[in-house]
Amino acid sequence: MSADIGLIGLAVMGENLVLNMEKNGFVVAVFNRTLSKVDDFVNGRAKGLKVIGTHSLEEFVSKLKKPRRVMVMVRAGDAVDKIIEMLLPLLSKGDIIIDGGNSYFEDTTRRTKELEAKGMMFVGAGVSGGEEGALNGPSIMPGGTKGAWKEIGPIFQAIAAKVKEGVPCCEWVGDGGAGHYVKMVHNGHEYSCCQAIAEAYWVMKEGLGMSNEEMSGVFSEWNLGKLESYLIEITAQILSKKDEQGTYVIDYILDKAGQKGTGKWTVMSALELGVPVTLVSEAVFARCLSYQKEDRVFASNIFTGPREPFKVDQKQFLNDLHDSLYASFLVSCAQCFVLMGAAGSRYKWDIDYAAVAHMWRGGCIIRSSYLENIFQAFQLNPALSNLMFDHFFSSEIQKCSPGWRRVVAATSKSGVAIPVISSGLSYYDGLRAASGPANLIQAQRDYFGAHTYERLDRNAGQYFHTDWTGHGGSTHSQAYNI
């Protein structure tokens, strides 16, 4: 029996992907650095299945049909380079290595070039959906050597989640690191959504004094409407979960959020490309602040007020909170698509944004019903520069804005921090302001550094300098933007 594909790295995601492939009719060879895990797997979860356990990379490679397809599911970073290095002498021209971990997209671009120079093909595939998704249908975002797609596409599309009438949540994304880039931005948006939901929870708990069961009920109800999404669904379940002693689990979890880097990478790339992804960055920094628990405990004794329940009509306020959360989801998603557009132009990736919306519609952590509207927006206008200009988005956000403002006002008055929800509103107000205060920034820059400015009454590209103090002289620095 020879294998259609091989997988290296039998941690939980790797194992579940193997079982998913096998369930879909593919024979899979497996290898893991710690060999006992191979035996445990083939004699345990994979017992009786078309899974071939191997005890060396030589044996692993010898079991694969040509062109060989090797999926690597190991820890991102050096481990991926090490595995590639060890595989290279064993593989032939035309073989394919697929990195399914959360690798940094620049690493994927480099590896693609290095392997292509050796006549091989490399694919960086973002895989989302957690362990459950890996087993039953993840969202897969592959990019790299285009020629690999016809060889791996049938396997990936078979194991991926499906939306509508069987559309797989897996399409070719683009060259080099495009697949891992899209996965990185997916995770960035996930940071915004998790944080915005956590803020809504905190507003209900601190501001409205609601119980866990009541909050769980609200999230369950929201999940039946426009907010329908995996993260809202699991939040409802989390809030009502009790342990054996009958205590709510949520109440004893330490309030320090961890992170593995994809949110930070999204913000780093946004800064590099000059695209405001303000909700993701607030979400990343909110996790950083959550981590400074000792400082927060200390500060809570110095800065005491205000900290009072809201004086609002609860039913009306919950509607407003719903609208704030929904608007924040939409704005974060719009910002993320603008970012991917900028990256696509910078790195010359021909990304199909409607296909990205479909890849995110099912299987993955950010799956939600509004992604169908994003798909439709890009189908209607593939060159859409900002989703906020699509009719669906603009009308939904405008409808949400009165409630959104009431939530930001009430929380600010009562001292409850909602950095993602409030920065979403600031972005919206900043975007819809044809005139803003940046004239003053330009004046300050010209005052202290002779950085020059353009004028409203002259053509763009002409730069002026004012001698603000009367003794600054006429020398000015060159105008340029990073």
Q: Which is nearer to ligand ATR, 83 or 340 (CB)?
A: 83
- d(CA 341, CA 332) in angstroms, rounded, equals 14
Least distance (Å) between residue 40 CB and ligand ATR: 10
- d(CA 126, CA 177) in angstroms, rounded, equals 10
Instruction: Write b or e for each residue in 276-290: b if 16 or more Cβ atoms lie within 10 A of its Cβ, otherwise e.
Output: bbbbbbbbbbbbeeb
Q: Report DSSP letters for 211-249, one per residue.
A: -HHHHHHHHHHHTTTTT-BHHHHHHHHHHH-B-TTS-BG
Neighbours of 332 (CB within 10 A): 29
- Bridge partners (DSSP) of residue 368 are 229
Tell me the two tokens of residue 387: 């989703």
Question: Please, which of residues 81-100 interact with ligand ATR by CB under 6 A?
Answer: 82-83
Segment interacting with ligand ATR, rule: CB under 6 A, options 27-35, 111-119, 227-235, 326-334: 27-35
Interface with ligand ATR, residue 260, by CB under 6 A: no
- d(CA 32, CA 56) in angstroms, rounded, equals 9
396 included as an active-site residue: no
Determine contact, residues 451/476, Cβ cutoff 8 Å. Answer: yes
Segment interacting with ligand ATR, rule: CB under 6 A, options 5-13, 202-210, 291-299, 400-408: 5-13
Question: Please, which of residues 207-246 interact with ligand ATR by CB under 6 A?
Answer: none
Q: Under DSSP, is residue 160 helix (H, G, I), strand (E, B) or coil?
A: coil
Site map (CB under 6 A) of ligand ATR, residues 38-77, x = contact: ------------------------------------xx--
Indicate which single residue of 22, 23, 24, 33 sits in contact with ligand ATR (rule: CB under 6 A): 33
Interface with ligand ATR, residue 37, by CB under 6 A: yes
List the catalytic residue out of 37, 183, 226, 264.
Answer: 183
Please compute Rg for the chain using Cα positions.
Answer: 25
Least distance (Å) between residue 281 CB and ligand ATR: 26
Least distance (Å) between residue 83 CB and ligand ATR: 6
Segment interacting with ligand ATR, rule: CB under 6 A, options 29-37, 176-184, 373-381, 389-397: 29-37
- What phi and psi, each to the nearest 5 degrees, are found at residue 112? -60, -45
Q: Which is nearer to ligand ATR, 111 or 361 (CB)?
A: 111
Residues assigned a catalytic role? 183, 190
- Report the interface residues with ligand ATR, using CB under 6 A: 9-11, 32-34, 37, 74-75, 79, 82-83
